[in-house]
Each structure stands twice: as structure tokens, then as C-alpha cells.
Amino acid sequence: MGVRRKARECAVQMLFQYDMSGGAVADVPAKFWAMNSQAAEVMEFANQLFSGTVARLAEIDNSIRAHATNWRMDRMAAVDRNVLRLAVYELVADVTPKAVVINEALEIAKKFSTDESAHFVNGILDSIKNFLNKKAVNC
């Protein structure tokens, strides 16, 4: 498994931990890495993804709500919600190609959730990607 995929998986796990614990953001990476040993480059990228996602969490959640018709955030499976959050952060950050971001999110959803979750995640991310593409064209 590549460094970036492993980092994304770790970031989703940290987001899940943060989501479920409601604890301080600064405590999550330290607690997570105390229990999960990884290479330095995995840790660095995972920490960047986690902190970037949490820093823009309100904006990210609003975007998910806008594109997840008939779904409330609190009714989504926690794993799916956090896979979406990470992917939306990467889509908005616009550093990684959108197709790669979506593919990675689908693989992580399949690994940590269900195949049905991957379909759910794909539908929402595709809608957000299309919205971002239209927004970029209209600028």
C-alpha cells in the first residue's frame, strides 16, 4: 500500500476518533500515533490531512449537507461521514486530482465500511466535484 493511501486511512481513523470522542483536536494525533506506529512520511501527510479537515470542518460539513439530499449528517454512518469529510477537504484543497481523491475515498469506504457505503460516498462526492468544476468555470 502506498504512503498516501495509508496516510488517508490514518487520517480517516483520526477524524473518526475526533468525531466520536468530542475531545480536543490537539490530543487526537498524539493519542492515535501512540497506538499506531507508521513511517514518518505517513504520519506527516496524515497529520496534514487531519488538521486541514478539522480546520475547515464547518465549511466541509455544509458542503456535504448541501449535496447529501435527504440525509442528515448525524444519520450517516460515522465512517462514511468521516471518509466524506476527508475527501471533501482534498477536493477543496485542489492539490490532488479529483478522480484520485474520489477513487481513494471509495477504496477506504469499502475497507472500513461497506460496498453500499462506497456507492453512497461516490454519489455525494461526484455531486460536490461537479459543483466545484462549475464554480471554477464561472470564475
Using alpha carbons, list the distances in angstroms from residue 67 to 17, 23, 61. 24, 28, 10
Q: Report the mean per-residue pLDDT for the chain.
A: 94
Based on the number of CB atoms within 10 Å of its own CB, is 112 exposed (0-12), middle (13-18) or buried (19 or more)?
Answer: middle
pLDDT at 123: 96
pLDDT at 63: 97
Distance separating alpha carbons of residues 112 and 72, to the nearest angstrom? 21
Question: Residue 1 — pLDDT band, cuts 50, 70, 90?
Answer: low
Cell digits of residue 123: 454519489
- Is the per-residue pLDDT at 20 higher than 90? yes
Using alpha carbons, list the distances in angstroms from residue 5 to 41, 63, 81. 12, 24, 18
CATH numeric code, 3-137: 1.10.940.10
Cβ atoms < 10 Å from Cβ of 7: 22
- Is the per-residue pLDDT at 64 higher than 80? yes
The residue assigned the cell 479529483 is: 98
Q: What is the DSSP letter of 76?
A: S
Helix (H) or strand (E) segment spanning residue 114: none
pLDDT at 136: 72
Q: What is the pLDDT of residues 70-106, one digit of tens each?
A: 899 999 999 999 999 999 999 999 889 999 999 999 9
Domain residue ranges in the chain: 3-137
Residues near 4 by Cβ (< 8 Å), separated by ≥ 6? 45, 104
Instruction: Calculate what percentage of the chain has a pLDDT beyond 90.
Output: 85
Q: What is the pLDDT of residues 28-55, one digit of tens each?
A: 999 999 999 999 999 999 999 999 999 9
Instruction: Summarize the confidence of residues 127-133 as an average pLDDT.
Output: 93
